[in-house]
Copies of this chain bind each other. A is one copy, B any other.
Amino acid sequence: MNALYHCISKYHSIPSGAWDALCKTLTKVEIPRNSFLVKEGMVCNNLYFLEKGCLRGYYNLDGKEVTYWFGFEDNFVTSFYSFISRKPSVENIQALEDSALWSISFEALNQLFDAHKDLERLVRIINEQYYIRLEERFMAMQFKTARERYEQLIENSPHILHRISLGQTASYLGISQETLSRIRSQG
């Protein structure tokens, strides 16, 4: 759990009592490549911390898989809409590599919030940071060309290019695989 502790400390320092309580409720989850953490139609009851491996979030649109999100080491992962609203997920979360995660249920997390104000603050702050990241991606999507978005990806998330296939990267960028292939070969 060192990775988790190190990760959350960057957002907000946690008293040891709260950390201990958190540790007690965390469950380790290991899933093999290609298996699913969340499937559409099911309520996602857990928030995860990805310790090792790599995941993607995608949904089905007109028979196509649309990837809109990747998770790597030290990322928090969940089907956010489902986890928060307690409604069935519209998305799937799949392991792209053998992965190891720490899991906490919605219920347990909310109980922790009642008991440990610092944990609620931590999550508030993390949510805010994730909001800002989504906002950045949103703006890029709305106002930049395919090539600019690709260049921004090289700049900001080069690890994606190393660990993710071209087709899925293209989907993530909101362009077709062929277009990305052409951009990459200096088209």
Contact = CB atoms under 8 A, between A and B. Distances in A.
Interface of A: 61, 66, 68, 80-81, 84-85, 113, 117, 120-121, 123-124, 127-132, 134-135, 137-139, 141-143, 174
A22 to B, nearest CB: 16
A85 B135 CA distance: 13
A34 to B, nearest CB: 23
B131 A124 contact: no
A131 to B, nearest CB: 5
Contacts of A123: 124
A94 B174 CA distance: 30
Contacts of A137: 138
